[in-house]
Amino acid sequence: MTEKRDYYDVLGLRREASEDEIRKAYRQAALKYHPDRNQGNAEAESKFKEATEAYTVLCDRDKRAAYDRFGHAGLGGAGFDFNGAGVGDILSHFQDMFADFFGGSASFSGFGSGGRRRRGPERGQDVGVALSLSFAEALTGGKHEVVVRGAAPCETCQGSGAKPGTKPETCSQCRGSGQVTAQRGFIMFSSPCARCRGTGQMIVSPCETCRGAAVVEKQRKVLVNVPAGIDTDQRLRVPGQGMPGPAGAQPGDLYVDVEVQPHAEYERHGNDLGARLTLSFAEAALGSSRKLELPDGREVSVRIEPGSQPGSIVVIKGEGVPRLDRGGRGDLHVMLGVHVPKKLSKHAKKLLQELEQELSQDRDHAAAAS
């Protein structure tokens, strides 16, 4: 594998170069080695990729700081490696960066489908809502309703913006593309069509309900499928349930931020559940079996071994929280405690005193034997 060159050397810069100097150096390199000017020149294509890779690191303050201290190894996978990438992919991925360099939306003539692709109408905005779940609901999952307030497709015109019985017409200026272009040299500049505002369509007879906006303010309910085992601060994405886009555009997505309410008796640690179980002295000393009802309604049996000590933990495999990847469940951890009564009857005191005498004799015999 060929060793990477120093990024500053690639762009012909001093290590103290300013951000403006970095941008200027890369712009010059991109113009010099662009494939449209060097068709069939593999060396120029390689230098174009190398310059772009260097720029993506040096224009980012955090990545540049890591690179300055530790070199290529300091990026830890945060940099870019374009050795195996096609030039078209690079231009498509960094289309906004090239637009900044060349003003407006820039594509490169003669480069075919690898250059910048025309943008269609912008999709609708994403929407975020909060969903509060009980501890049990988070363990079991299921369908839950959330309320979304905002724009919704107009029912009168079915979201077209046009008066019923009519339909939007193709914009005569951009011919439905939503973009107008102008070429200067080998660089093709494109910008949203001013007449149709980039939609590619014109509404001649607007809908009376939405006045051509295609949307109305509305409150609606969305059914969200919550997976079993979800936890606080996790987010669900519901495609297509955000704000509607302009005519002909896809709606945005709905993002649901989950908050799980705490439980009075159970705690959660990742995919494991924690619980406390209080025993009588006899149960701890002699051993027993107890039933526990979990928050999601399941019942498990907890086996207490004879001589169990306060604070010891019984682990029951596979009885914890469902894993989101559906790979089974975590474990249930039960911490044992022993109840010590504050008041005793005379008979109970006498029995405990006799027990203490018996235990004391056992301890003396054990000490003598050792």
Average pLDDT over residues 73-95: 56
Same-domain check for residues 13 and 91: yes
Nearest to 33 by CA among 21, 47, 19, 23: 47
Between 91 and 213, residue with greater pLDDT: 213
Residue 114: predicted pLDDT: 41
Kindly report, residue by residue over 105-131, the tens digit of the pLDDT: 444 444 443 444 444 456 788 889 999
Tell me the longest C-alpha to C-alpha distance in the chain: 107
> How many Cβ atoms are within 10 Å of 338's Cβ, its own excluded?
16
**For the chain, what is the domain count?**
3
Kindly report, residue by residue over 254-313, the tens digit of the pLDDT: 999 999 999 999 999 999 999 999 999 989 999 999 999 999 999 999 999 999 999 999
Same-domain check for residues 34 and 147: no
Kindly report, residue by residue over 5-38, the tens digit of the pLDDT: 899 999 999 999 999 899 899 888 888 887 777 7
- Give me the CATH number covering residue 257: 2.60.260.20
Whether the predicted pLDDT of 342 surpasses 90: no
Same-domain check for residues 242 and 277: no
What global pTM score does this model have?
0.53
Flag whether 138 is in a domain: yes
Same-domain check for residues 130 and 239: yes
Residue 265: predicted pLDDT: 94
- Give me the CATH number covering residue 88: 1.10.287.110
Same-domain check for residues 35 and 136: no
Flag whether 314 is in a domain: yes
Kindly report, residue by residue over 144-186, the tens digit of the pLDDT: 999 988 777 788 888 888 899 998 889 988 988 888 887 655 5
Give the residue from 200, 227, 261 where a domain finishes: 261
Which H or E run includes 222? strand 215-226
Cα R_g (the chain), whole angstroms? 34
Flag whether 168 is in a domain: no
Flag whether 35 is in a domain: yes
Q: Distances in Å between the alpha carbon of 273 and those of 77, 132, 310, 334?
A: 36, 20, 19, 8
Residue 117: predicted pLDDT: 42
Same-domain check for residues 223 and 96: no
Same-domain check for residues 29 and 93: yes
Residues 6+ apart with CB under 8 A from 197: 246
Flag whether 98 is in a domain: yes
Residue 183: predicted pLDDT: 62
Nearest to 120 by CA among 180, 198, 215: 198
Flag whether 167 is in a domain: no
Confidence bin at 87 (pLDDT 50/70/90): low
Tally the C-alpha atoms within 13 A of residue 209's C-alpha that lie toward its C-beta. 18
> How many Cβ atoms are within 10 Å of 38's Cβ, its own excluded?
15
d(CA 289, CA 277): 11
Residue 330: predicted pLDDT: 95
Whether the predicted pLDDT of 104 surpasses 80: no
Same-domain check for residues 138 and 221: yes
335: left (phi over 0), alpha (psi -120 to 50) or beta: beta
Same-domain check for residues 22 and 77: yes
**Domain limits at 317?**
266-339
Query: Which two tokens mark 125?
Result: 């905005």
Flag whether 201 is in a domain: no
Same-domain check for residues 270 and 257: no
Residue 38: predicted pLDDT: 77
Question: In sequence order, what are the beta bridge partners of 327?
Answer: none
Residue 105: predicted pLDDT: 44
Average pLDDT over residues 218-225: 90
> How many Cβ atoms are within 10 Å of 88's Cβ, its own excluded?
17
Same-domain check for residues 25 and 58: yes
d(CA 31, CA 106): 12
Nearest to 254 by CA among 151, 135, 141: 151
Same-domain check for residues 30 and 147: no
Flag whether 161 is in a domain: no
